[in-house]
Chains A and B, each alone.
Chain A
Amino acid sequence: MQADHSLPETSAPAEVPRALPSTQAGYPSPGARERRAMLMRLLGTYGTIIVLGSMLLIFSVLQPGTFATIGNFRNIINDMAIGTIVAAGLTVPLVAGDFDLSIGYVASFCGLLVVGLLSFSGLSIPLAIVLVVGLGTLIGIVNGIVVSKIGVNAFIATLGTGTIVVGLNYAYSGGIPLQLTQSREFTNIAIGRIAGVPHLVIIMAVVLALLWVILNRTVQGQHIKAIGVSPESARRAGVAVDRSRIVAFAIASTCAAIGGVLMASNLGSGQVTAGDGFMLTSFSAAFLGSAALREGQFHILGTLIGVLTVAVGNNGLAMIGAPIFTQFLFTGCLLVVAVALGGIGRRYGRG
């Protein structure tokens, strides 16, 4: 136990000794090594906040009239609400040490399906939503069972179920977007406001609060966190490891389904691939979040900061009139930076 935890601290700084100015014959002085470890710890703990802060600063200087306005920030928050719900859901299996690559496809299918159920099957809005979100939960449970009970690697398993969901999507829609034939009642779910606050923002806040409570104030959350650190220790202490993993996948998939429904409501139609992009942005956000305040640990508040970072970046690029391809470059770079920062946090944070 002891050797295990002290290893990164002693071995990691020695990896790049030559890069240091104060080296003598390739070995850093103890002071330099300490400074470097300290710097890395800061980077792993505040890296994302530094990225977010510098973007806010740069875009505000470049576009003070359009970017740095309350109206624009209201837009940013509203636009990122659905992505936040999906990303926060993904955070739960990440905390448990698992991955879920199916969330984007689940969101797409659920958005399309809810429109179909309303427009063509004539279901009432509550029933359609309950059915679709329930389907999301079910997909998550299947993911969890395949990963924990059958022991398929989570990457492959969720890529598989995700692709099956794409298949179901095309089987249902024929690959053609579905138009919403119903009244404005359904679109009002996403577009409406209460006392000036958009529904989307309220729903986002409720989902975030709920997930935070689950992870930090329930026995289930405690178990999910424990298996993310050491499944074997948790198992030996009597934690139901498989069940906790299944619950974590179910939560992620449920949130993806909620995101899909809200997306359909926001768009007023069912688009075949509208939610696919959530996968990448959610991973970026969650990894960025792991380098915010917690030294490489995934957590709900961090993911919110992560989503905000992605959203501010994209919004700012649009505001300064950067061509659309730069947004892809930005998102891609951000994902790499995010994973790197999270890794630095994990490596240097302990001890």
Chain B
Amino acid sequence: MAQSTLLSLRHICRSFGGIQALDDVSLDIAKGDIVGLVGDNGAGKSTLIKILAGAHDPTSGEVILEGQPRRLSPPAEAQRLGIETVYQDLSLIGTFTAAENFFLGRELALGRGPALLRWIRLKSMGDTAIKGLDELHIDIPGVRSKTVERMSGGQRQLVAIARGAFWGHKLLLLDEPTAALGVRESREVLDLIRRLGAKGLTIVMVTHNLDHLWQVCNRVVVMRRGRKAADLPSAATNMEEVVAYITGAKEAMPARATALEAGA
């Protein structure tokens, strides 16, 4: 790949008590990549995403962002560095409008000092959110008047992803963006992800849906038992092969292969 590397993980390990959630995972993410992260439950996808989001620190290993070793935790630090995460749930406030959600924690306000004395600029927030959604060709009525709990699941997901893209200028992490969505809504969300990719945003997306993965991702990373089982351009592989990696029917990691031979 000719593009420059945005972020590298070097020999990342992470354990929780006695459980090794991630075991020596190395991964390079190039600028503009749309990486699909797949694997069975407990394979380490979530832990990997959380390390990228700054929600967990690796037990050992290095994170290199644009050539510099970085500590991404706490999540606010990852956000400051331009990494945004859209969690499967718990990302929006139901009683807030889309515009208010857009700016939650980063409100446009008059005045400085304690939050108690900062006058919130609802109008500017509404205008900016509408503009931001327009630029991504997201058509949602009532951005500044309708609470998101009155929107459909698909609209909520579009708002959540648009918010992530609005603030995350380097890397956008998506945790199961199409889970619990209908067919048409999934398509709208995938369209948005594709448009974001076309704008040059780097995206890592956890998914259980391989169909959806092929529709948007240029790379597939398969996790299995805390290790990276495969890392392939999606054009150079197929669903059958990826499923084989997920289930362990096929093992590609040379280190693991030799270890098995030595054990046998």
Contacts and interface: CB of A to CB of B under 8 A. Distances in A.
B95 A225 contact: yes
B181 A217 contact: no
Given A233-B93, A238-B106, A218 B117 contact: yes
Contacts of A218: 109, 115-120
Interface in B138-180: 149-150, 152-153, 156-157, 180
For chain A, give the interface size range.
20 to 34
Interface residues of B, number: 36
Contact of A1 (B79, B89, B96, B120): B89
Interface stretch (A2-10, A113-121, A131-139, A320-328): A2-10
B156 A1 contact: yes
B86 to A, nearest CB: 10
A233 B122 CA distance: 20
B146 to A, nearest CB: 12
A35 to B, nearest CB: 20
Say whether chain A's binding surface is mostly helix, strand, loop, or mixed.
Answer: helix
Contacts of A219: 107, 109, 115-116, 118, 120
A229 interface: yes
Interface string B63-102: 0000000000001100100000101111111111000100
A351 B90 contact: no
Contacts of A247: 115-116
Contacts of A199: none
A236 B87 contact: yes
Nearest to B89: A1
B114 A297 contact: no
A230 B94 contact: yes
Most chain B CB within 10 A, of A214, A217, A237, is at A237
Contact of B104 (A5, A237, A240, A297): A237
A223 B75 contact: no
27 contacts: A1-B156, A2-B153, A6-B153, A214-B116, A219-B107, A219-B116, A220-B115, A222-B120, A225-B93, A225-B95, A226-B93, A226-B104, A229-B94, A233-B93, A234-B93, A236-B75, A236-B85, A236-B87, A237-B104, A237-B105, A237-B106, A238-B76, A238-B104, A240-B115, A297-B95, A350-B149, A351-B149
- The 6 A-B pairs with the shortest beta carbon distances in the complex, nearest first, are A238-B105, A2-B153, A220-B115, A237-B105, A1-B89, A219-B115
